[in-house]
Chains A and B, each alone.
Chain A
Amino acid sequence: MNKIKASATTIYILFLMLPIYWLVSMSFKDTSEILGGFTLWPQKVTFQHYITIFTDPTWYVGYINSITYVGLNTLISVTVALPAAYAFSRYRFLGDKQMFFWLLTNRMAPAAVFALPSFQLYSALGLFDTHWAVALAHCLFNIPLAVWILEGFMSGVPKELDETAFLDGYSFPRFFIKIFIPTVAAGIGVAAFFCFMYSWVELLLAKTLTSVNAKPIAAIMTRTSSSAGFDLGLLAAAGSLTIIPGAIVIYFVRNYIAKGFALGRV
């Protein structure tokens, strides 16, 4: 039984790694090798494509853009979601259930539906092609998600904690920052992870709301594949580099993954 399990796990992980391997190996092949024929691994390792990316500003600025708006968005989403999640987890109030459901419905809205009106909105606000536009637009799906995750974690914290603190003479803001936030730190970590993830991987809105100055790396890749012909090696190198931030983030939250993915609801 254990052997079957171990081999099933191995096969699945191999299946996950194969396309990634192919991408990475492609990024180390030179163009003539790629087009010359089929090779399982790079015959002559070249860093050519990586050098291009790190020296050409149109490439590396894309990374900076992506990281900037993803960071901004994560910060905004979690900060705003914290008090709201607290309200939903502790109080009953007029229209609370409806409000919660409405929030969740926004997570269900196809980005394609919002692409055009968002473009018009942020153009009208004068934010088009800034990091802020993307960071704010991604709040559309990240705030509901963050509220939902945090509400799950907060409901697991006994109410007596709040009551004791208030009896001890803490004001609400001081209690919230000094006591409550550290208590739900794991939940905040998980929520931040999810916000990072969805903002990092989303492209439709990010692409629609930017043109030059704030263009995300992933969108620059798309441009390359269509306009400058099919420079597969460069594309593969750029793609490989986009995997790294995700891998780093997962590494940091690895111990919370199992609980975190259940959104605190297990």
Chain B
Amino acid sequence: MAKLSFKNVKHSYLANPQNPSDYALQDVDFTWSDGGAYALLGPSGCGKTTLLNIISGLLKPSEGQILFDSTDVTAMSPDQRHIAQVFQFPVIYDTMTVYDNLAFPLKNRGVDEASIKQRVEKIAEMLDLSGSLHNRASGLTADGKQKISLGRGLVRTDVNAILFDEPLTVIDPHLKWLLRSKLKELHQQVKRTMIYVTHDQTEALTFADKVVVMHEGQIVQVGTPTELFEKPKHTFVGHFIGSPGMNIFPCKIFGNRVMFEDYALEVHGEISEKLVVGKAEVGVRPEFITFSNKGIPVNVVKVDDIGRLRIVEVRHKGQSFKMVLKEGEAIPDKDVHISFDVNHTHVYCNGWVIN
């Protein structure tokens, strides 16, 4: 086991990349600490699968280095790196039994029969596969097959990290939850580094201790689920995480005052005009907007009841805001104003937070 570092890793699928947009991965410099449970979150095409394949060694990056502890593994093949990977669609060896599937990586590495048996049985038990060890693997359901894929990574004692590439895509919704909690439980048992790629924020936030958010080939923020929620470093994170996403609207900055239309806003931390070069925006999550007597006057446009919460859309001139009301909170009839929670109002310049 080891910690895993990326040193200025770039990758392009083109032979001669010219612009930054030719890169699927733009200059990633990051360290994954040993034994962590990471989620790699981002929309389709943001470079997360590229990043994953570079870790496993299926892809060789165009530039940069990958280190496991202090060993440079950039040029090593997947099996030399001791990495396990679970793919989007279950990969099983159809003609083998469940036992043989699980034993396959060990047999390939010349482990003796007795140790294989012991190891496979232990892992099968962890995965609740003990009962079907001697059945043909091809007869299993999708979630059973995906467990085998995972099991082939777990049986190996030399694995540095287990990578998951959207592993729940083909699993039935009601089994997704079960398998996800199984993964979490397994992580606590085996204490291996796990990196879980997904575009589903619920999956990411429930599985991981640390979530790595990617956008257009870059890592935009790394943090705990709470950090991502309370202080998004980039408007993309604010927008992508949370439901509904963060309200983001333009503002002007004069000296150290932040102005939205004619209204001065109080924001978290210190702001200075000097910091702003380019487009300035304010971001507030719907959870941190409340009705009040003063502040920005608005009209209520729409109310959506989603069970215990209500999502209210209000509008000031051309700008609409979404806010989340808890049960029992009333919507005023007239003279509606809204105000923002100071500690959770952030200012962004060209997308990045500045306060």
The short answer to whether A and B are in direct contact, CB under 8 Å, is no
